[in-house]
């Protein structure tokens, strides 16, 4: 089975190719779909993350023959800059192989400033992209929903730093569980974010408490007013 793969379903809306470097994720986000998607025990997934077996050797083999202009997304079922990456540095090793074989990548992370240590590699290829998941601008709410992830202010600073180095940036507003915070975050970040992608929260009680039609039109109007490129995921568009 290839470690660089073509996502299906909702993930395909974000990227045509992806690679998951770790099994499990120490961020412990309450809304995470990955334990179910990978048929993992949720507590083990959160508490015992580890590099995938032979992941770097597998990437080495697959990138030597892969020709694509589509960026490979790191990662969908884990975070490339979760805390254990400070020890293993798997993400840096993977980025070096993608760069060596002329394959663009896009990072998707809640790791905050941990990601900045690899900006020296990421900035080498103008096709590369750096993206951050933002859900709230309130530190206490972030700690409640995403207890192991970097706080919102730190994630925003990593976007600002990437943009300053000429790295293309985008924000994932998914899952949306605080619509008002999303609007404030757009205002706080639009000067250094190149693209926004927006998707609702699913499989959670909070989804039933939000007026998705009103939110969808509000976020669309705000981004159009600011002249920012954006993509609304299908599960949100169907309410509009």
Question: Which residues touch 112 (CB under 8 Å, ≥6 apart)?
Answer: 81, 149, 150, 151, 154, 155, 157, 158
Tell me the per-residue pLDDT of 120-152, one tens digit each, with 9 for 90 and over.
Answer: 999 999 999 999 999 999 999 999 999 999 999
Which pLDDT does position 53 carry in this prediction?
Answer: 96
Position 226 confidence tier, pLDDT thresholds 50, 70, 90: very high
> What strand order describes the sheet that includes 230-232?
4-5, 17-19, 72-74, 105-109, 129-133, 168-176, 195-200, 230-232
For residues 207-235, average pLDDT: 97
CA angle 36, 85, 156 (to 5 degrees): 85
Which pLDDT does position 204 carry in this prediction?
Answer: 86
Widest CA span of the chain, in angstroms? Answer: 48
Which pLDDT does position 1 carry in this prediction?
Answer: 82
| C-alpha span between 206 and 118 (Å, rounded) | 35
Contact 165, 124 (CB under 8 A): no
Tell me the per-residue pLDDT of 158-205, one tens digit each, with 9 for 90 and over.
Answer: 999 999 999 999 999 999 999 999 999 999 999 999 999 999 998 888
Tell whether the model's pLDDT for residue 101 goes beyond 90. Answer: yes
For residues 36-64, average pLDDT: 96
Rounded CA Rg of the chain: 17
The pTM (predicted TM-score) of the whole model is 0.96
Q: What φ, ψ does residue 136 adopt, rounded to 5°? A: -155, 160
Tokens 């590699």 belong to residue:
121
């Amino acid at each position: 089975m290839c470690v660089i793969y073509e996502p299906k379903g909702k993930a395909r809306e974000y990227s045509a190719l992806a690679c998951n470097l770790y099994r499990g994720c120490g961020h412990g986000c309450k809304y995470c779909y990955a334990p179910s998607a990978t048929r993992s025990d949720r507590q083990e997934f959160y508490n015992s993350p580890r590099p995938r077996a032979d992941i770097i050797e597998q990437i080495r083999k697959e990138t030597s023959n892969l020709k694509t202009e589509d960026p490979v997304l790191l990662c969908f079922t884990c975070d490339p800059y979760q805390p254990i990456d400070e020890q293993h540095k798997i993400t840096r090793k993977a980025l070096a192989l993608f760069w060596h074989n002329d394959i663009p990548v896009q990072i998707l992370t809640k790791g905050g400033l941990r990601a900045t240590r690899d900006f020296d590699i990421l900035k080498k290829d103008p096709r590369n992209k750096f993206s951050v998941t933002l859900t709230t601008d309130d530190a206490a709410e972030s700690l409640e929903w995403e207890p192991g992830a970097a706080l919102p202010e730190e994630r925003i600073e990593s976007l600002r730093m990437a943009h300053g180095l000429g790295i293309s940036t985008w924000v994932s507003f998914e899952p949306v569980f605080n619509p008002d915070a999303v609007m404030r975050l757009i205002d706080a970040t639009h000067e250094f974010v190149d693209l926004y992608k927006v998707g609702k929260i699913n499989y959670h009680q909070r989804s039933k408490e939000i007026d998705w039609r009103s939110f969808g039109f509000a976020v669309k109007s705000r981004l159009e007013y600011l002249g920012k490129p954006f993509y609304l995921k299908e599960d949100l568009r169907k309410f509009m």
